[in-house]
Amino acid sequence: MRSSERGENSFVIWTVNVDKKKSRSEGRRIPRRFSVPNVRIDELAKACEALGLSYTVEHKKYPRCWWEEGGRVRVAKKMKKTELMTKIAEKIREMRE
């Protein structure tokens, strides 16, 4: 397995990581005041595109909530992960308005 496949140069961001309706134990990674409710994978991808990030969409299920739809994106490392997730959530909020 190559290093790029293992994700050494990218972050994995799941839809639940920025979902306001999830608790920290359910997978939310940023404070509730920055997060957005009911995040979809297409919104996550559009936010990454709008921010000019290189990303890959992966249709996988989050292990703690395997019964729910969701997914993840692999984003190239450009900044700290929490900062990146906050900017993505902010962009999703902007796109919904």
* Residue 81 host element (H or E): helix 81-96
pLDDT at position 2 over 50: no
What's the CATH fold of domain 3-96?
A: Phenylalanyl-tRNA Synthetase; Chain B, domain 1 (3.30.56)
* CA 87/CA 13 separation, integer angstroms: 12
- State whether residue 13 is helix, strand or coil: strand
Please write the tens of the pLDDT for every residue from 78-92: 899 999 999 999 999
How is the chain split into domains, by residue range? 3-96
Give 17-66 pLDDT, tens digit per residue.
Answer: 999 999 999 999 999 999 999 999 999 999 999 999 999 999 999 998 88
Residue with tokens 């703690």: 64
Q: What would the 3-class secondary structure string for 14-61 be? A: EHHHHECCCCCCCCCCCCCCCCECCCCHHHHHHHHHHCCCCEEEECCC
